[in-house]
Amino acid sequence: MIETGRARRGVSPLLRLRGIETAYGGSQALFGVDLEIHAGECVALLGRNGMGKSTTVKSIMGLQRLCGGDVEWRGRSLRRLGAHRIARSGLGLVPEGRRVFPSLSVRENLIATAREAPGRAVGWSLDDIYGMFPRLRERQRNLGCHLSGGEQQMLAIGRALMTNPDLLILDEATEGLAPLVRGDIWRCIQSLKERGLALLVIDKNLGPLMRVADHHYILEKGSVVWQGSSEALRARPELVRDHIGM
């Protein structure tokens, strides 16, 4: 199953999923998912609709309770922490569907969940976010509900960055956006990677995703069926055909 090792002997991953199982009521969605993300690495989570990508993300963030396995962050279990504490532990989420606060302004959205970077002299400031997305500066007094889809996506990313995460999770961040705006989001993701942020990216646009990701996991019905590098994935077009559908 593992086509290319990324053995980093002696280096433990930032995030490690150990056989996680998650169910919605009586209906099991994840069947023992193992996944690792190292510091500074960009990992892609692939698979068709309904295969368990968002459930994996919700399980990491404590938004969906595990019924088996464990999520370890810097070697410590997150299993008994609530979603609020997990969100303040250095894991930032840009959720599927963006979910900006509709009745708060852009500026209020950015500061509502902001968190200082512990042990780091300089974290993300409002100015940094406005530097990355000048459109948000222009719109800073507008309400979340009055923004375009692209602006809402930039705001969702900015809001997650204001928690000063060490790992940023993006669940379908380019979904439903016009091609130009999509390009802006990919450039943002690339620049976050260059700054050394670890990333977990879920996206249907395999081309840009393969350019930015170091390692890929393919989910099929709640289980990892393959993992490997972008190069290894490029060499296996049948994997893309059978499990990703492009």
Ligand X SMILES: Nc1ncnc2c1ncn2[C@@H]1O[C@H](COP(=O)(O)OP(=O)(O)O)[C@@H](O)[C@H]1O
Per rule CB under 6 A, is residue 47 in the interface with ligand X? yes
Task: Give the DSSP letter of residue 48.
Answer: S
Looking at the Cβ atoms of 92 and 164, the one nearer to Mg ion is 92
Q: Which stretch binds Mg ion (CB under 5 A): 52-60, 131-139, 190-198, 224-232?
A: 52-60
Alpha-helical (H) ranges within the chain are 53-60, 83-87, 106-112, 126-132, 134-138, 149-161, 179-194, 206-212, 230-234, 237-239
Chain residues 150-179 in contact with Mg ion, contact rule CB under 5 A? none
90 forms bridges with which residues in the sheet?
A: none
Separation of first and last alpha carbons in the chain: 21
Can you tell me which of 7, 24, 103, 179 binds ligand X, judged by CB under 6 A? 24
For the CB of residue 171, give the shortest distance to ligand X in the complex, in Å.
7
The least distance separating ligand X from the CB of residue 195, rounded to whole angstroms, comes to: 27
Q: Which of residues 144-203 bind ligand X (CB under 6 A)?
A: none
CB 20 within 8 A of CB 68: yes
Shortest Å, Cβ 98 to ligand X = 15
Q: Is 230 an interacting residue with respect to Mg ion (CB under 5 A)?
A: no
